[in-house]
């Protein structure tokens, strides 16, 4: 079985979209793949409630309990790997996981660590992407699924979605429109990785 571990910090809407797609597309039967666990660095992450209600193992690993980023990432790696009988999951999926990961963590999951970013990379890496797109007068915005590298919001682009910037858009209205596309492209990109091998 190809186990997938999803990391979240908040509401987990992309995590939920992935799980729904996996169930509807019968990943377990067709691809021998399943979402094995959802891990959050925040105990109050609402996505944990949704995951538990859908029968997925959930764990909280509070980053504030560790003396350094390196110590937290080492504990997180051990926790992630415990959710796969082979010792390492097929994919580690960042779905609103609001932590910058250390190079050792990224190297440990080289080729198997994916993220979604709310811009058309390579434009607008980092935070506040929608407001920055509006401030720059962009006519289009969007989202990007990419492999994770040690450099923030870089790595091979796996899928993208484009949405128009409409007159009167605010960062919030643009973000909401982009999010609907994230929910489509993230499960699709993960399925392609599972089909093509990781």
Domains (range + CATH), the chain? 2-196 (3.40.50.170)
Q: DSSP characters for 110-149?
A: TTTEEEEESS-TTSS-SS-HHHHHHHTT-SEEEEEEEE--
In the prediction, which pLDDT does 181 show?
98
Task: Give the DSSP letter of residue 25.
Answer: T
- The list of the chain residues with pLDDT below 70 reads 197-198
pLDDT digits (tens, 9 = 90+) for 68-92: 999 999 999 999 999 987 778 899 9
Cα–Cα dist 58/49, whole Å: 9
In the prediction, which pLDDT does 197 show?
55
Catalytic residue among 117, 130, 146, 183: 117
In the prediction, which pLDDT does 198 show?
46
pLDDT digits (tens, 9 = 90+) for 113-140: 999 999 999 999 999 999 999 999 999 9
Strand arrangement of the beta sheet that strand 2-8 belongs to? 57-60, 33-40, 2-8, 91-94, 113-117, 140-147, 157-164
Cα–Cα dist 86/113, whole Å: 16
Q: Is 117 tagged catalytic?
A: yes
Q: What is the pTM of this model?
A: 0.96
């Amino acid at each position: 079985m190809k186990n997938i571990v999803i990391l979240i910090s908040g509401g987990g809407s992309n995590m939920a979209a992935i799980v729904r797609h996996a169930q509807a597309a019968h990943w377990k039967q067709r691809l021998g793949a399943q979402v094995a666990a959802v891990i959050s660095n925040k105990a109050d992450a609402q996505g944990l409630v949704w995951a538990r209600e859908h029968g997925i193992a959930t764990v909280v690993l509070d980053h504030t309990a560790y003396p350094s980023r390196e110590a937290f990432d080492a504990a997180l790696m051990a926790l992630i790997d415990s959710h796969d009988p082979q010792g390492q999951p097929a994919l580690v999926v960042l779905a609103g996981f609001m932590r910058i990961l250390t190079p050792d963590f990224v190297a440990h999951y080289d080729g198997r660590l994916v993220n979604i970013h709310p811009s058309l990379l390579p434009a607008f890496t980092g935070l506040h992407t929608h407001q920055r797109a509006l401030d720059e007068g962009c006519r289009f915005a969007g989202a990007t699924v990419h492999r994770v590298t040690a450099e923030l919001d870089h790595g091979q682009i796996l899928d993208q979605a484009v949405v128009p910037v409409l007159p009167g858009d605010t960062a919030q209205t643009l973000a909401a429109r982009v999010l609907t596309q994230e929910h489509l492209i993230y499960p699709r990109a993960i399925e392609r990785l599972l089909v093509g091998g990781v």
